[in-house]
Amino acid sequence: MGKPLVAILSGAGISTDSGIPDYRGPNGLWRRDPEAEKLVTYEYYMGDPEIRRRSWRMRRENGALRAEPNAAHRAVAELERSGVPVRVITQNVDGLHQLAGTSARKVLELHGTAREFLCTLCHTRGPMADALERLEAGEDDPRCRECGGILKSATVMFGERLDPMVLGQAMAVTKACQVFIAVGSSLQVQPAAGLAGLAADHGARLIIVNADPTPYDDQADEVIREPIGTALPGCWPT
């Protein structure tokens, strides 16, 4: 028999050790500053130039693109290198799984990526670093150089649908895997959270690694509350 297919659903908790804040936790950004949620809400962003300027300032100042992978990201990359078939389904937009060495083609980014910008009109994409350079040069609401359209990060904002192709791939992986590990996710944001239940329904061994209880703990074969960086390697199939 071949090695089991392992699907890893990663949430904000896997990246907090890299200095990227959790948005929904007790000290999360949305709890501390409800106004900040407008900066990543599509309707407000598209309709209000001041919201866009604040949003671009936040991107320039928050330093998320300077974050480095931590032990948990490296553990996932190491699992792939060991020859185990791995697919990562991530709710994060930080790109740290790929930076740690996991093959980009094996990472499904449900909520897009903060490492690229996207034109809302002609859908041109490019490196976020290029857009931030324009901010440093004095632009406060950079427009698309191809068509003049409004630029945003290539992330799924509140009020936008997930990419149906990415979600479809994530569901296919979830149904096919033998082991499903949900790590650092509150499992409260649908449709991503529902993948844990879908995996269990299709016979996968469900392992949840998270500091706080989740709505899917009672369906899990194993619930681990230890720090993610040390807990993850212990989850790997041998």
| pLDDT tens per residue, range 115-143 | 999 999 999 999 999 999 999 999 999 99
Per-residue pLDDT tens for 13-61? Answer: 999 888 887 655 545 555 566 678 888 899 999 999 999 999 999 888 8
Q: Does one domain contain both 57 and 74? A: no
Query: In this structure, are residues 112 and 155 in contact, taking their beta carbons and an 8 Å threshold?
Result: yes
Residues acting as catalytic residues:
111
Strand order, beta sheet including 112-119: 125-127, 112-119, 151-155
> In Å, how far from its chain's centre is CA 54?
22
- 3-state DSSP assignment of residue 24: coil
Q: What is the pLDDT of residue 62?
A: 76
Q: What is the DSSP string of 88-134?
A: EEES--S-HHHHHT--GGGEEETTEEEEEEEETTT--EEEHHHHHHH
Query: In this structure, are residues 235 and 226 in contact, taking their beta carbons and an 8 Å threshold?
Result: no
Total number of domains in the chain: 2
pTM value > 0.85: yes
From residue 154, alpha-carbon distances to 93, 166, 193 in Å are 9, 14, 21
Q: What is the pLDDT of residue 176?
A: 97
User: What separation, in Å, do the N-terminal and C-terminal C-alpha atoms of the chain show?
Assistant: 13
- pLDDT confidence tier of residue 230, bands split at 50, 70 and 90: confident
Q: Does one domain contain both 60 and 72? A: no
Q: Does one domain contain both 61 and 175? A: no
Candidates 197, 225, 163, 221; CA nearest to 9 is 197
Q: Does one domain contain both 107 and 118? A: no
Domain that holds residue 197: 1-20+68-111+162-238
* CATH number of the domain residue 58 falls in: 3.30.1600.10
Q: What is the length of the chain?
A: 238
